[in-house]
Structure 1
Amino acid sequence: MNYQSFKNSIIEYIRYQLGSTYHIFIQSIIKNNGIRLDGLIIMPEETNIAPTIYLNYYFQKLKQGIPFENICTEIINYYQKHHPESSVDIQFFTDLEQIQSHIAYKLINFEKNLSLLDDIPYIRFLDLAIVFYCLLPSSSEQNASILIHNQHLSMWNLSLTDLYSIAKTNTPDLLGYELLDLHSILRNSDVSEIPHQEFCLTATPCASDEQYPMYVLSSQNRQYGAACILYQNLLKHFSQKTDMDFYILPSSIHEVILVPTANRYSLFELSEMVSSINHSEVNPEDVLSDHAYYYSREEDRISM
């Protein structure tokens, strides 16, 4: 079965299983880093929002030998778990007072998203860009969002400075953070349970350096957690606790890894490792950067 036949068969199978009260279609979607994916949309007639299910990954499962019916069942189960309970009132998005408390920021790669950045507000940060989005209050998983565009700022009569100030206040409250010792994760977890790119990135360097463990930093829901490095005083307090400077490894847009400088690896070696893993293990749309960063306690600053 080729990819086009796979997509057509998915629509036919799911439409048969769910019935005629659902609108089921495929939409081409440009993701982070300019990656184009095919999103399956399953939307009941009475709602105006639905989770996007990317078929590119499921086609890879088919090529790996997973039966077609099993894939369809997995897709339906995913939809039933993640679909919103109600529609979203799009009008609320026109009122800044209503949405202000839902605005957050995230980090993306600057060079890989130049076309997108022409149309959205952003702040340059090293080789990255701080961009902004609105979390939808009716999201069942609390991770459905709308990216904020330049036209939204015009509609709200809001400056980029004020937008950043709002997001800077909101994001730690909306997303929180988790800072986990990787040695504890590796000791207490089955290797098969650890996300593949995370394990590859950390298992080798930290295996013999338990005196200076690495730490995974992410948001509490593991979405856009790399932005936690922007939280006010978080890195400062971490460096005070460990009593040393550290490197920051951008393992994806969803998390970073903090490596004490007492570890035997150099910034160049860590950057080489990040780049290698990005090209072999991380989904292209999840790549943040090929560079490791350095945090200085004395300067309270991140540099490349």
Structure 2
Amino acid sequence: MLSFTEFQEQVTEEIKNHLPEQYANADVVINTVTKNNGMKLQALSVRPEGKVVTPNIYLEGFYEKYQGGADLDEVVGNIAKVTSDHMEGPEFAENIAAGFMNFEFIKDRVIMTVVNTEKNREMLEHTPHTEKEDLSFIYKVLVGDPEEDGMATITIKDEHMKYWDATVEDLHQYAVKNSQEKLPAKLQTMNEIMRDMLGRDGVPEEVIDSMMDSMPPENQMYVISNSNSVNGATAIFYSDVLDELSKKLGGKDLYILPSSVHEVIAISQDMGTPEMLANMVQEVNGNEVSPEEQLSDHVYKYDAKSKDITLADTTIEELKKNQKDTEVQEASRPRRHR
């Protein structure tokens, strides 16, 4: 069986045999792409002559299929099909590339994503961002219509900022507006989600009714995401989302549990203590959420009066102090020599 490195070499050598003839002279390269929380993946890119924007096809999942017994030639064929399908994706990608140096073209397509600051420190060194507690907003250019073409985006880097007469504050202003318009918030109770799941599984409505307990609004858990359910945790920073939920619960403050980068859970302040809820979040992150999709190990509080979101189980000052102490300890630790 091939190692992952040998698998990548084999794919690079053979993929053109499975691609349409129009890609015969394309450059085939494999790059290491750093994803959320420092996760590094190997991505195949097929770049025809004159093509500016090409998709990344991540190879780890295909290698797992090969390890599971799939025929190598069949796996390479599947990679080629996915590559070809993506290459024939929205022509809008080429328009983005052509207009990328013009901020007037970009500004209506900028959206924001929220990530963990400390876990993405390396990436943030080269990426314009805005910090909020232990999180950071980064900015992306949306390619195509998210409802029709999926979440195709280009992350804005420091090098792109050199093209534009714009600041990070400008990016943030447009990103908040565009995110709310193009990826509006979606709020559901946990009961509503369970009902939808059971209904799709064919469970009769009367059976669902008998299974689901009716609870007052203040005792329910509310799942917040965006319309695309991708990187939807950002929706808690849209205007009015948490304010309206707080009013629904009698003007109470809220605790926010970061399920993942894709969604969060909001509850009334009466449903637990920050310490208890933080332990719950950490346990879920450790056992159920993939490292790439984790947002934070901490719980947030939405203050109904100030309309602000802050850390609930700690403070950003305490977190920074702990991180600095850890760095000092690691720097002073004796290094072993072989």
* TM-score with structure 1 setting the length: 0.82
CA contact (8 A) 2:185 2:241 kept: no
Q: Residues of 2 paired with 1:51 and 1:182: CA distance? A: 36
Cα displacement (A) at 1:268: 1.8
2:187 paired with 1:186? no
Structure 1 distance, partners of 2:137, 2:289, is 21
Q: Deviations over 1:127-159 (max 9, x none)?
A: 001121211248862522222223433432212
Distance 1:124 1:85, change over 3 A: closer
Structure 2: runs of 5+ lacking an equivalent: 202-211, 312-338
Q: 1:287 aligns with which of 288, 294, 297?
A: 294
Alpha-carbon distance change, 79 to 273 in structure 1, aligned in 2, over 3 angstroms? farther
Kindly tell me: are residues 190 and 78 of structure 1, through their superposed partners in 2, closer, same or farther at Cα, counting changes over 3 Å?
farther
How far did 1:59 drift? 2.5
Deviation at 1:260, TM superposition (A): 2.7
Are residues 1:26 and 2:30 paired?
yes
Note if 1:38 corresponds to 2:50.
Answer: no
Provide the rounded CA distance (Å) in 1 between the counterparts of 2:284 and 2:118: 19
> Aligned residue for 1:201?
none
Paired residues of 1:88 and 1:138 also in contact (CA < 8 A):
no
**C-alpha distance in 1 between matches for 2:17 and 2:10:** 11
CA-based RMSD: 2.9
SS in 1 for 2:53: coil
Answer yes or no: is 1:121 the counterpart of 2:128: yes
Q: Which has the higher Rg, Structure 1 or Structure 2?
A: 2
Cα deviations across residues 69-99 of structure 1 (Å, max 9, x unaligned)? 6655654554455442435142311111111
Higher RCO (C-alpha under 8 Å, 6+ residues apart): 1
SS of equivalent to 1:130: strand
Q: Structure 1: 5+ residue runs without aligned partners?
A: 194-206
Structure 1 residue 219: deviation in Å? Answer: 1.6
The equivalent of 1:261 in structure 2 is 269
- Residues 78 and 282 of structure 1: is their aligned pair in 2 closer, same or farther, counting only changes over 3 Å? farther
2:19 touches 2:81 (CA, 8 Å); kept in 1?
Answer: no
- Please state how far the C-alpha of 1:191 moved relative to its aligned partner: 11
Q: Could you tell me how far apart the structure 2 residues matched to 1:65 and 1:181 are?
A: 41
Contact 1:107 1:128 in 2 (8 A): yes
Aligned match of 2:4: 3
Give TM-score scaled by structure 2 length.
Answer: 0.75
Aligned-pair CA distance for 1:126: 0.9
Q: Take 2:214 and 2:277, find their aligned partners in 1: how far apart are those partners?
A: 15
| Matching residue of 1:143 | 151
Q: Which amino acid aligns with 1:301?
A: D
- Show the 5 A alignment for 1:1-304: 1=1, 2-12=3-13, 14-22=15-23, 23=26, 24-45=28-49, 47-65=51-69, 68=72, 71-72=75-76, 74-76=78-80, 78-79=82-83, 81-83=85-87, 84-86=89-91, 88-89=94-95, 90-137=97-144, 141-189=149-197, 210-211=215-216, 212-243=219-250, 244-263=252-271, 265-304=272-311
Alpha carbons of structure 1 residues 217 and 76: separation in structure 2 relative to 1, 3 Å: farther
Partner SS for 1:99: helix
Shift of 1:54: 1.5
**Fraction of identical pairs, as percent:** 30
**TM-fit CA distance, 1:39:** 0.9
CA distance in 1, matches of 2:176, 2:284: 30
* CA gap 1:45/1:85 in 2 versus in 1, 3 angstroms: farther
Is residue 278–residue 287 contact of structure 1 (8 Å, CA) maintained in 2? yes
What is the count of residue pairs matched by the alignment? 290
- Partners of 1:146 and 1:128 lie apart in 2 by 20
Give the whole-Å Cα distance in 2 for the aligned partners of 1:45 and 1:56: 27
Measured at CA, do residues 80 and 138 of structure 1 come closer, stay the same or move farther in structure 2, by a change above 3 Å?
farther
